[in-house]
Structure 1
Amino acid sequence: MKVKVVSNTYTVWLNGKEVMNYTPEDIPESGPVGIQLHHKNEMGMNYKSIKFAEI
């Protein structure tokens, strides 16, 4: 998964294919980065390599 945020627009690619492009009306200028799992869903997450970069 690759996520790119420019200004207030989020673009997400999964396995090289763009799967989401979202522009919310209100977005904070700073804050934590969160990775979400939904409660009561049987799923897991594994991470091989997480990289953050300002571009």
Structure 2
Amino acid sequence: MSTDRNPADRQRVDPQAAARISAADALPVRVGVAVIGALIVFGLIMVARAMNRRPQH
């Protein structure tokens, strides 16, 4: 059993962990992130347009 007081010290982070995923395996993740990002941006644009069309008193 380890005597480390900080649990984060026990985890060893590999700086090249992302490089171990092949390009074919990473493509669906990248496409998913792009689609979700596009939906968020589109939603923000629609909200801004709706707020801009409100009548001014």
TM-score, L = length of structure 1: 0.17
TM-score, L = length of structure 2: 0.17
Larger Rg over CA atoms: 2
Question: Which of the pair is proportionally richer in strand?
Answer: 1
